[in-house]
Amino acid sequence: MATVTLTKDNFEEIVSGNGTVLVDFWASWCGPCRMFGPIFEASSEQHPDLVFAKVDTEAEQELAGSFGIMSIPTLMVFREQVLLYSEAGALPADALEQLITQVEGLDMAAVHAEVEAQQAAAEVGERTTA
């Protein structure tokens, strides 16, 4: 599967409408981005069941800013709308494959329960400090 171009207009739809989404924040002038691009593309061909998406940080500055992107390339991985991974730097192919294996192997029921517990704790904290 070819990579999908993400914009502020389709980001939410793509992430919420698919199980696992890998997002590469990049720019054409970025040397490490140009090195990681073919690795990301090759992985998309090996994993047609996953969505591989790219955000051009030059064209989508607002979207990149909303995620606090400070260095590129930055790779984010969402599964069932939960951000599971966010790191700057180009990954070698074997590291990207290991990351995909780890993300696909997660018990998402446990992850969702943990997210809910953290949100509940944050809400309690907000009420006690207000």
Q: Which domain holds residue 30?
A: 4-105
Structural domain includes residue 119: no
- Write down the pTM of the prediction: 0.89
Structural domain includes residue 130: no
Q: CA separation (Å) from 21 to 93, 119, 122? A: 17, 23, 26
Domain count for the chain, please give it: 1
Domain with residue 86: its CATH number is 3.40.30.10
Structural domain includes residue 73: yes
Catalytic annotation, residues: 30, 33
Structural domain includes residue 126: no
Q: What is the pLDDT of residues 34-89, one digit of tens each?
A: 999 999 999 999 999 999 999 999 999 999 999 999 999 999 999 999 999 999 99
Structural domain includes residue 85: yes
